[in-house]
Structure 1
């Protein structure tokens, strides 16, 4: 039978999602399980295998020719292993080998979740038509990936473009990664909320202290809440400008929960970018919200599987 589909896995600290995806990026079958993130490694793998078992039971499964995995990181694409920060039971866990064995020996492509979302945005979303792009996820953490010369650029280990751990404040707070003043330490959702609370912001009667609640307060004119988002925007602008200066991307696409703050984030971000992206060759840099939505991880994992060492477009041509 013609293998015109790929299997996709999107593995995070909250859920493990799986899908069968066609070469146009359409999801034809899907399933998911909660991630038993605090359990041992085999229990977590059991949840992955349960997702794969549902996919392999589908009548569409014989049409699947490869598996793509987008996983919380760090990942090591060259070794086929994952060590997600928020899944302590997996340290150098041989995920590629285990998935290959659970799927009857199909080829498996592993990338970090930021790289997967980059692949999705370039294939189906806001970075479509751009040969050089940075795509970011700003959520509980800050991740990212790069499109260079029209191709996904995962790097040797699958972590290239991990903008969350560029240092933008030399004397800043220590980051859990071991460095100081990282973009993530300032601009992630929990850190936006932490700064707002430390500076005197108080939640409403519902007691909600998330970044979404800070965004609501900022929108209503709370100066402390707005200042916390402005600081996050400044950190993001510094990281984006540094990346654009280094590799000449012309668009930065931002998704994840924090991007849902809309103008509360994007207005100060675009203003700050003018202060950091100052050289002539980065002045045309634009920043836009992501557009692939909650399925970005699955679509991007599928794109990575289709890519299999080539671009999505080449893979699609070969499959026809």
Structure 2
């Protein structure tokens, strides 16, 4: 990767990924784009373009203007938001992906777009979910992710586009606000542990979901995109995860630092149903074997880092 275009650069992943890439490759080498702008680090720290990913010609023009050789396409509606607006989710998630793939095909760019554990469904094995298994999701978000994996495979097989993808679990970050995902309860819990000392979960106790700390996710994107293509058999998309937790496990980790933290429940039936359709834990052996995936953060290390950063942040704000 030398000249990189990032779509959805102000979202949960994009806002941190742009900084990560600029630190690694140089600020001028990373073009951040989003449908909105504002006082964001990704806007201030290097080149930024307003871009609606539904406008394929505008995306092509931006890529040509900046001479990009890699496209990291992040713009999408996430699970809970997508279920509330399914047609918008399909049009945006698939229309934007199609436009980005066409730019990659035309310009010979390497290409990354994230998939998700949402690509699985109730018929998928829930424990140690295999890399290759049944994918019959029951949400529009999941449907778009499965279709996206297949479309990226098609562009690789038909046109030789160097497409690569990761099936992300829930991503936890102290710096990016939740973006409408089902697993965002974990981010909310850390924030409210620091600010209020209690949290009401919309996901029930005993509902296990895979999670990953955002620094591990950023490293995984770079590591996959820099991997030898000859080693990659599962381009779209690799299972990745760092931990399988339920709300009680996250709360217990928090209480080791904030003993009085209280957790109660007001379950949201929509998000609970989505969570129950997803795996409890993923088998990531293909990612480990083909490009060396190995997360650095477990629940304890992540909790310490989250609380340290959030405490400093809210002390500064207060």
TM-score in terms of structure 1 length: 0.33
TM-score in terms of structure 2 length: 0.34
Higher helix share: 2
